[in-house]
Structure 1
């Protein structure tokens, strides 16, 4: 039996997330080796690839072992339980199972945003800033209830939430904090890697900084590929 894991991200036209995904995959392999576990780790994207996800899964399995049974864990590296996590990825996994047959065991693991260790991860990033107020800015989702986890994390970290695709926006939350007297505001992008959206967030902050020169807006980095993040991913693989 060949043990394998496929890390699934959204996909981006920006090359930086793909580079970071490959680095994270290497870190997960290092984590497995430190525990004397042999596992094959690959990456795939839900969108913006020539092949749909189920075809990427099939290709990865075939590359793992043409003549052996494969035990594959699919780990969605998504931070919110939106449509992609709850509907799209499970549907793609079902298509792959149907095509590969019973000799291939494919298990869909919990998404990254469900890991309880993310809160400590974010707390450390906030702790590296000097601010009297905190904003956790996530992508957002129109799926009902998908933001509950982010809201809970933000509350525990004494932060307010802002979203890129749904209200309240980053601009609204920054101005509200300024209106109640804060002059040092830490902003943490709740995104996996740097990319187009995190660049756009930085541009929004630059404009706000010009608008409010007496306020110190401190932009932190997104999660990024690190040994600590690889540890969280490894926990999801083992579940």
Structure 2
């Protein structure tokens, strides 16, 4: 029996680095599981769009029903995971009869994400011995969704227990209701608390407009170290396969949920 297709759904960006990074990540997923068909679709800005990929999978040349696991390339369960993606998949299921599509869970939270984050910090020159004297800003893109905000706050708490002298969550954009300060303000707050060395870790998958704001905020406030986005980190590729396997093992999800 043929395994379901893995359709990785990314947001998309006008920044060409975004799509290039997503494709590098999906290429790593293919290398980890040869024989698995892995497709990439974008919600906006980039091609192919999610509906276009699903139409291709629904081709009359396909025999029987094609099973698809649609995996949101999202770190938290916010608007896109709750609204945009279910809507696109629901519409596709209604008009593409040869497809059986189920939506997998978002990527976070997961220990594999923390592993990818730690790899990027190590690549930025930070060693485990540096943690006791370094404050960390966990900088995400930003959200007004209470569930997403709570997840980021919990990750910051978990990181605090891995040896960093302090950890503060931050958003790339301006303060959101109930959210976190901008990256630059979080760096300054750590300085005000007496932390001499501050590192900024972008908690985002791929480059783009909001990740660039994180970089600018780190530079504005004089952060001592800045790691790269998670990108095609091996741990992130393994996590995509974990979410795919979880979705296969579970009962098919209702796309209206």
TM-score bucket of the superposed structures, by smaller chain: 0.7 to 0.9
Q: CA deviation at 1:41?
A: 0.7
The whole-number CA distance in structure 1 between the counterparts of 2:46 and 2:207 is: 19
Runs of 4+ in 1 over 3 A off after TM superposition: 49-53, 62-65, 123-128
- Number of aligned residues: 227
After superposition, the CA RMSD in angstroms is: 2.2
Does structure 1 retain, via aligned residues, the 8 Å contact 2:207–2:229? yes
Q: Judging changes above 3 Å, is the alpha-carbon distance between structure 1 residues 196 and 219 closer, same or farther for their aligned structure 2 residues?
A: same
The whole-number CA distance in structure 1 between the counterparts of 2:69 and 2:24 is: 19
Counterpart of 2:116 in structure 1 is 121
Q: CA deviation at 1:144?
A: 2.2
Unaligned 5+ residue runs, structure 1? 210-215
Helix, strand or coil for the counterpart of 1:113?
Answer: coil
Of the three residues 145, 153, 168, the one matched with 1:160 is 168
> What does 1:1-239 align with in structure 2 at a 5 Å threshold?
2=2, 3-33=4-34, 38-49=35-46, 53=50, 55-62=51-58, 66-101=62-97, 103-126=98-121, 128-129=125-126, 130=130, 131-158=133-160, 159-165=167-173, 166=176, 167-209=180-222, 217-239=224-246
Q: Judging changes above 3 Å, is the alpha-carbon distance between structure 1 residues 64 and 11 closer, same or farther for their aligned structure 2 residues?
A: farther
Q: Judging changes above 3 Å, is the alpha-carbon distance between structure 1 residues 124 and 227 closer, same or farther for their aligned structure 2 residues?
A: closer
Q: CA deviation at 1:168?
A: 1.4
Q: Judging changes above 3 Å, is the alpha-carbon distance between structure 1 residues 15 and 64 closer, same or farther for their aligned structure 2 residues?
A: farther
1:7-51 CA-partner distances (Å, limit 9, x unpaired) = 011100011111111121111111112xxxx32111111122477
Does structure 1 retain, via aligned residues, the 8 Å contact 2:41–2:48? no
Q: CA deviation at 1:97?
A: 0.7
Does structure 1 retain, via aligned residues, the 8 Å contact 2:138–2:201? yes
